[in-house]
Amino acid sequence: MMDRIPVVVLTGFLGSGKTTQLNAWLQQRQDLAVLINEMGDIGIDQHLTAQSGVPVTLLAGGCVCCVVQGSLSSTLRNLFMARKNGDIPAFTRIVLETTGAAEPSGVLAPLEQDAWLKKRFYCQSVLTVVNVAAGVDSIQRHPECLEQIQAADVLLLSRTDQVDGARLVGFQQQLVALNREADQVSTPAAAELLERQFERRCRITGRLSIVAPESSSFAPRVSEPLPTSSSRHQLYSAALIWAHGLSWVHWQAALQQLAGQCGDALVRVKGLLRVEGLDGPLLVQWVGTAEPELTPMNQWPDGDTQTRLVLIVRHDDPDFVHQQMAHWQSLLTQLLASGH
């Protein structure tokens, strides 16, 4: 049997810090191939990935665990053949960064069920980034976060510097209750983690259903079978591509308006904003009700100077996110017309 190529699944809920961890690895390793999955129809994360010369492929337009599995299978095939033919560097393993809504067993289904892929690839590990600052609230509100924790071989704890020691220890104890087998490592984790092999658990016949002890402050219910609908998450996204820019004052007002429109339904905003007076874009990263993280970039990553933004909400109505984005785009047009 031919040597199979290991696949490392890097998962974690929206805004947990997956891309930051990936960039830390890319600064140390040149022998990787990277697949980045995004919920929106446009990609942002691939522009934020370190320029390391490794092949980076975007899987956009939906969650790889339930919507774009076919794209994952074909992409793995294409990568294998390109490597075999010498068209790309001979990578030793693949890192698959999932969307924050992904459920790991669904992500891994093609590797288990596709005979061609199974001969050539295998899942080496599932590494889950957990936002310590978001804490238990994120796990209680977002079932995807719990699924990712329970499926992990290693839990990568991000934003540990944003909580005090007692809160960190308490949260780590609750993570142990949810997944006793997983190691816990603070980010950025060293690249040696990519070499570690883990005993595989069944990821296709069902999710883990670990229940926290009665002493825990929360006790997740036993998992039920996943519905096959691609909207099982109740997470929906809408994308904006806008060929204009605004002053920073107007962008501030627009972002505040977007937060007000979406209210508690807002889960994630990520985008590149064209701001007057800046040579590059303003990177906006926003998780729930937290303050937006705003980072000026020195240059546009791909030469395209259009404003690009992805909005993700949790809502019963799949049209809600598109209605909010359309309303927000109308506001941007009004701000543009009002002058600078």
Q: CA angle, corner 311, sides to 298 and 160, nearest 5?
A: 70
Identify the band that residue 205 occupies on the pLDDT scale cut at 50, 70 and 90. Answer: very low
Cα separation of 301 and 44, whole Å? 10
Domain regions of the chain by residue span:
5-195, 235-337
Least-confidence region, from 7-21, 149-163, 172-186, 230-244 = 230-244
Q: CA angle, corner 198, sides to 194 and 204, nearest 5?
A: 110
Report whether CATH 3.10.20.30 matches the domain 5-195: no
**70 against 36, higher pLDDT:** 36
Q: pLDDT tens, 240-265?
A: 999 999 999 999 999 999 999 999 99
The confidence score (pLDDT) of residue 119 equals 94
**30 against 108, higher pLDDT:** 30
* Domain 235-337 -> CATH class: alpha beta
Nearest to 233 by CA among 164, 163, 145: 145
Where b means 16+ CB within 10 Å and e means fewer, 218-251 reads eebeebeeeeeeeebbbbbbbbbebeebbeeebb
- Element at 293 (helix H, strand E): strand 293-296
* Whether pLDDT at 295 is above 60: yes
Identify the band that residue 50 occupies on the pLDDT scale cut at 50, 70 and 90. Answer: low
Bridging pattern class, strands 154-158 and 183-186 = parallel
- Region at 303 (left for phi over 0; alpha for psi -120 to 50; beta for the rest): left
Q: How many residues does the chain have?
A: 340
Amino acid at 248: W
Least-confidence region, from 68-82, 206-220, 241-255, 313-327 = 206-220
- Element at 59 (helix H, strand E): strand 56-59
* Whether pLDDT at 153 is above 60: yes
Where b means 16+ CB within 10 Å and e means fewer, 60-87 reads bbbbbbbbbbebbbebbeebbeebeeee
Within this chain, domains 5-195 and 235-337 share the same CATH topology:
no
* Whether pLDDT at 216 is above 50: no
The confidence score (pLDDT) of residue 221 equals 37
pTM: 0.80
Bridging pattern class, strands 32-37 and 56-59 = parallel
The confidence score (pLDDT) of residue 287 equals 87
The confidence score (pLDDT) of residue 207 equals 42
Cα 94 from chain centroid (whole Å): 16
The confidence score (pLDDT) of residue 103 equals 83
Cα separation of 17 and 13, whole Å? 9
